[in-house]
Amino acid sequence: MRDAVTTLIKNYDVAGRYFDRNAIDSLKSYFESGTARVQAAAAINSNAAAIVKQAGSKLFEELPELIRPGGNAYTTRRYAACLRDMDYYLRYATYALVAGNTNVLDERVLQGLRETYNSLGVPIGPTVRGVQIMKDIVKEQVAAAGVTNAAFVEEPFDHITRELSEQDV
């Protein structure tokens, strides 16, 4: 797993270049937002179960066909699997948020997710909507925790939804 710093170093090393002004500014921005990233992660961590529960409730309220007979979240086992997956996305989005880099999402979530969902015939639309709902809840939780200028919170969730939306799973 790479973070913003190791990714930047790798890119400049591969090119055989010293850091330029853009690299220095990028590092400065990452380090200046470090405390806010950790505070945001702490807010998510302390409320993770509630975030997943609230997001699941809202998702199933918006898309009740998912929990009806024949729906992908019908039966207790499938419902629990849906919430488990939402928790999984939330946890890895938190890792990416702290790292300031979405590579962990690509390496540990999205690649395996595509294969799994393809084999199980899981529709991607509700998954994308669930991640979007979690993003909104997380933004509220982070703001309530007193983190200001937390635009970085959206990045990992947007990356997940963008990558899943661009794939025909």
In the chain, the domains with their CATH numbers are: 1-32 (no CATH), 34-165 (1.10.490.20)
Determine the pLDDT at residue 149. 85
Burial of 92 (0-12, 13-18, 19+ CB in 10 A): buried
Does 168 or 18 have the greater pLDDT score? 18
- In percent, the amount of the chain with pLDDT more than 70 equals 97
Asked if 5 contacts 29 with a C-beta cutoff of 8 angstroms, the reply is no
What tens digit of pLDDT does each residue of 149-165 get? 888 999 999 999 999 88
What tens digit of pLDDT does each residue of 130-154 get? 999 999 999 999 999 999 888 899 9
CA distance 142 to 15: 37
CA distance 118 to 124: 10
